[in-house]
């Protein structure tokens, strides 16, 4: 009986640890910002933070392994509705029509959650957009990306109306930046400028895991690489 209790305690701790790891903030390099509203002269916009679906799938691969999670999708379409007073004029639609996707995300040993996504049927990428939204909403139920909803709201940033992009996104608060420690120096792993591009924290860790089977910062990876050359 005591052995069974011990197994249950271990399993419960492993579950909590996995959920905590899934809920950790993404690397800042994986966050992008969308304008939610603009001022009158369209020089500033309120920025909202989002993460690419690949950030969610990478986190699942990192925490539980690619063989221990899966996603299934169901696609529905809602037909457009015409104005009965102008049936011959397709421009006068009461409702343009939608594509609705339901994503079911299952994580082995944890459970299943679902989420929905929608997009205008007229969009040539409607299903892709709706699938991405549905997947992220299902993943949020396990904690992935949930912190993005807690970021400061109503922050006005510089905006380019030509490209329709936020040109000077807000700084992330300290609690929204992941703290990954190097296994050699115990320092916090930081993004690293490599040539003309910046290697993200995720890329650095993936590289060190592949080459050295451990989690290392860029300087410590360089030290190990030089040691290999000398040996």
pLDDT tens profile 76-91: 988 776 666 655 555 5
pLDDT band at residue 9 under the 50/70/90 scheme: very low
Flag whether pLDDT at 44 surpasses 70: yes
Q: What mean pLDDT do residues 100-114 have?
A: 95
**What topology does CATH give the domain 2-174?**
Enolase-like; domain 1 (3.30.390)
Please check the confidence at residue 71 and state whether its pLDDT lies above 60: yes
pLDDT at 96: 74
Boundaries of CATH 3.30.390.80 in the chain?
2-174
- Look at residue 13 in the predicted model and tell me its pLDDT: 83
Q: What is the pLDDT of residues 169-220, one digit of tens each?
A: 998 998 998 888 899 999 999 888 888 888 888 789 989 999 999 999 999 9
User: What percent of the chain lies above the pLDDT cut of 90?
Assistant: 59
pLDDT of residue 198: 86
Residue 69 pLDDT > 70, yes or no?
yes
Higher pLDDT: 17 or 90? It is 17
pLDDT at 111 over 80: yes
Q: Is the pLDDT of residue 140 over 60?
A: yes
What percentage of the chain reaches a pLDDT higher than 70? 89
Nearest to 153 by CA among 43, 44, 49: 49
Amino acid 6: pLDDT: 45
pLDDT of 7 over the 50 cut: no
The whole-chain average pLDDT of the chain stands at 87
């Amino acid at each position: 009986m005591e052995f069974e209790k011990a197994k249950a305690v271990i399993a419960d701790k492993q579950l909590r640890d996995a959920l905590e790891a899934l809920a950790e903030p993404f690397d800042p390099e994986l966050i992008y910002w969308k304008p939610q509203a603009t001022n009158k002269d369209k020089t500033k916009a309120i920025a909202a933070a989002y993460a690419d679906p690949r950030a969610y799938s990478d986190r699942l691969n990192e925490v539980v392994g690619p063989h221990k999670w899966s996603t299934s999708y169901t696609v529905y379409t809602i037909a457009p509705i015409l104005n009965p007073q102008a049936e011959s004029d397709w421009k006068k639609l009461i409702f343009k029509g939608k594509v609705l996707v339901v994503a079911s995300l299952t994580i082995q040993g944890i459970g299943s959650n679902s989420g929905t996504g929608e997009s205008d049927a007229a969009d040539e990428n409607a299903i892709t957009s709706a699938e991405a939204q549905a997947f992220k909403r299902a993943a949020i139920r396990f904690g992935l990306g949930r912190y993005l909803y807690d970021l400061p709201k109503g922050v006005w940033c510089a905006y380019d109306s030509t490209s329709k992009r936020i040109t000077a996104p807000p700084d992330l608060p300290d609690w929204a930046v992941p703290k990954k420690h190097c296994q050699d120096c115990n320092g916090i792993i930081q993004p690293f400028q490599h040539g003309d591009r910046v290697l993200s924290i995720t890329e650095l860790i993936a590289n060190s895991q592949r080459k050295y089977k451990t989690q290392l910062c860029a300087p410590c990876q360089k030290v190990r690489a030089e040691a290999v050359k000398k040996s």
